[in-house]
């Protein structure tokens, strides 16, 4: 049924608590097994009771998301993990101590209370504790762990503001907790700790491989899947095309001159062309829309601006978008993971 989507604005969120009137109002919907969008330090999530099949079904319905794509469960206190995980491996415990609250999702063996709809039918569950005062206070107000994928229509760029959520889901969900712009801008890193003695990154994100290895004092693996071929993905973002703007997005591994030549060719064919670049290169390009996503010298700014930039191209009404590539180091690995999925494998290399 269509909803009149309410927006609950939360001010002074650094001092926010679960007793905040706006959060209490929003939490009433969660207690009815409905869904509510809320901010985290990465992107906005679409939350529903992780222990309720009905609530999880509503998440999939609102997003238009395939039900075999597992969801991440968000908690506010470590005690809630007992309801979710059958056990906590030692390396998972080390990562929790170092990175929770924060943009790290850990995959555990699943406990008996977790809805199978959350896990995509798997025997593991993905859990994180967000580092955002509004998120933590809202989860506490709800009184249950919240399964919460990004609060966007499936396949669209993830939302980093309440306005993005409203654009995608107005009329599809009861409400949005508006806690302002998110900070990190790309989703959490997902690591699998469900296999004894091994830690593997399933999705790069706000916590880097280097940071994980420093905390553990040992090497962390990279899952070779990171593809659309995984039959039963353990992590969100491993199976389907994501983060796509309205126009076809082409990722270009080449010089600025090569990118400009692609723009010129498209415009000669009568197509409006856009370039996704950085502040350092913005003035170089001549296109119908040139939009910088942060600064190349500070990749964390690129990550923070990435999804907002992709959505801005929708307003520019271009027919094709060409995007620059970034080094796969640190947070650059997460940036490239998202850009490659935005392009749906449409990557052009100058030397080929």
342 is in an annotated binding site: no
65 is in an annotated binding site: yes
188 is in an annotated binding site: yes
115 is in an annotated binding site: no
Indicate if 98 and 197 belong to the same structural domain: yes
243 is in an annotated binding site: yes
CATH assignment at residue 98: 3.90.870.10
pLDDT digits (tens, 9 = 90+) for 180-221: 999 898 999 999 998 777 899 999 999 999 999 999 999 999
Domain that holds residue 212: 6-222
Q: Does pLDDT of 66 surpass 80? A: no
Q: Where among 203, 222, 241 does a domain terminate?
A: 222
Domain count across the chain: 2
Indicate if 218 and 260 belong to the same structural domain: no
Task: Give the pair of three-digit tokens for residue 108.
Answer: 């555990």
- 215 lies in a domain? yes
158 is in an annotated binding site: yes
- 144 lies in a domain? yes
42 is in an annotated binding site: yes
52 is in an annotated binding site: no
116 is in an annotated binding site: no
124 is in an annotated binding site: yes
Angle at 94 between CA 150 and CA 51, to 5 degrees: 40
With beta carbons less than 8 A apart as the criterion, state whether 208 and 222 touch.
no
CATH assignment at residue 305: 3.40.50.11030
For residue 69, the model assigns a pLDDT of 78
- 3-class secondary-structure state, position 28: helix
- Helices 21-30, 133-142: axis angle to 10 degrees equals 50
- What is the rounded distance in angstroms from the CA atom of residue 16 to the CA atom of residue 140? 11
pTM of the model: 0.90
pLDDT digits (tens, 9 = 90+) for 321-350: 999 999 999 999 999 999 999 998 899 999
Indicate if 146 and 255 belong to the same structural domain: no
Task: Give the pair of three-digit tokens for residue 194.
Answer: 């469900």
């Amino acid at each position: 049924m269509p909803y009149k989507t309410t927006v609950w604005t939360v001010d002074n969120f650094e001092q926010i608590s679960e007793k905040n009137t706006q959060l209490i109002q929003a939490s009433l919907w969660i207690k009815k097994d409905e869904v509510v969008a809320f901010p985290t330090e990465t992107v906005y999530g679409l939350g529903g009771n992780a222990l309720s099949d009905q609530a999880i079904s509503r998440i999939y319905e609102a997003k238009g998301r395939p039900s075999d794509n597992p969801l991440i469960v968000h908690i506010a206190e470590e005690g809630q993990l007992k309801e979710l995980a059958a056990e906590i491996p030692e390396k998972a415990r080390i990562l929790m101590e170092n990175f929770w609250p924060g943009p790290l999702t850990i995959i555990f063996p699943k406990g008996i209370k977790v809805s199978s709809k959350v896990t995509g039918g798997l025997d593991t569950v993905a859990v994180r504790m967000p580092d955002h005062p509004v998120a933590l206070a809202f989860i506490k107000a709800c009184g249950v762990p919240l399964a919460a994928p990004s609060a966007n229509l499936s396949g669209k760029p993830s939302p980093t503001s309440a306005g993005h959520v409203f654009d995608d889901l107005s009329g599809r969900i009861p409400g949005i907790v508006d806690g302002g712009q998110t900070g990190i801008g790309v989703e959490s890193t997902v690591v699998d700790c469900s296999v004894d003695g091994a830690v593997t990154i399933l999705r790069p994100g706000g916590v880097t491989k280097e940071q994980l290895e420093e905390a553990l004092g040992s090497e962390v693996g990279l899952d070779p899947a990171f593809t659309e071929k995984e039959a039963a993905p353990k992590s969100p973002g491993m199976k389907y095309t994501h983060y796509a703007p309205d126009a076809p997005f082409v990722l270009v591994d080449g010089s600025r001159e090569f990118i400009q030549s692609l723009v010129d060719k498209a415009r000669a064919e009568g197509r409006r062309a856009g370039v996704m670049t950085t502040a350092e290169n913005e003035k170089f390009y001549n296109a119908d829309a040139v939009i910088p996503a942060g600064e190349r010298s500070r990749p964390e700014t690129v990550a923070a601006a990435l999804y907002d930039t992709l959505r801005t191209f929708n307003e520019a009404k271009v027919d094709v978008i060409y995007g620059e590539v970034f080094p796969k180091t640190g947070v650059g690995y997460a940036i490239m993971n998202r850009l490659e999925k935005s392009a749906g494998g449409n990557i052009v290399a100058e030397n080929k």
